[in-house]
């Protein structure tokens, strides 16, 4: 077992739902082997209320997530990222900053909880469904034997994960 802690940045345009859930999940599921961050190209400045409520109900620290711009992580004094994952198609199609250290990248699209329609209970249920999808992907990621894979094999596995768990309406 290695003592190395892998750092991961999750990107989504508004950094209010999917990327925030991924950050929180990785920090819990990674059990100290991973440190997750999230950011957006055009952060909304607030966390989606259904995401906030779900995270709070599941015991995630309420003060932990915040909506922030991705430029924070491209600065010279930013944490070095080992991985950068886009979790919405909009962010995947944008011109991202150049990340110091050339982290490994992949696109893992998920449906947008902010696009949920219906009454509050339906929106909350949709958010919980997306949360479950992200959780399964994070669990698969943290179980990868990262240290024993060469860069090309690891890249292939990360890309395959994005395809294998893709949802038809991912990343509206």
pLDDT 10s digit of each residue in the chain, 172 long?
Answer: 457 899 999 999 999 999 999 999 999 999 999 999 999 989 888 999 999 999 999 998 766 678 899 988 888 888 899 999 999 876 556 667 777 778 999 999 999 999 999 999 999 999 999 999 999 999 999 999 999 999 999 999 999 998 875 554 443 3
pTM of structure: 0.90
- pLDDT for the residue 97: 73
Q: How many CB atoms lie within 10 A of CB 96?
A: 17
How far is it, in rounded angstroms, from Cα 3 to Cα 119? 46
Cα 112 to Cα 134: distance, rounded to the nearest angstrom: 11
Spacing of C-alpha 162 from chain mean position: 12
Report the candidate in 72, 68, 63, 54 with the shortest Cα–Cα distance to residue 131.
54
pLDDT of residue 165: 55
CATH for the stretch 6-164 = 3.40.50.2300
């Amino acid at each position: 077992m290695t003592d190395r802690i892998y750092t991961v940045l999750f990107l989504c345009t508004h950094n209010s739902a999917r990327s925030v859930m991924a950050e929180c999940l990785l920090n819990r599921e990674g059990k100290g082997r991973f440190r997750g961050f999230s950011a957006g190209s055009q952060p909304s400045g607030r966390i989606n209320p259904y995401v906030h409520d779900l995270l709070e109900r599941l015991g995630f620290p309420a003060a932990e997530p915040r909506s922030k711009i991705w430029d924070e992580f491209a600065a010279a004094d930013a944490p070095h990222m080992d991985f950068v994952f886009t979790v919405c198609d909009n962010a995947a199609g944008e011109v991202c900053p150049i990340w110091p250290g050339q982290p490994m990248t992949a696109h893992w699209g998920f449906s947008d909880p902010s696009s949920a329609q219906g009454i509050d209970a339906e929106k909350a249920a949709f958010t919980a469904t997306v949360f479950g999808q992200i959780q399964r992907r994070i669990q698969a990621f943290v179980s990868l034997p990262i240290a024993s894979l060469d860069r090309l094999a690891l890249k292939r596995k990360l890309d395959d994960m994005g395809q294998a768990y893709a949802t038809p309406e991912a990343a509206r």
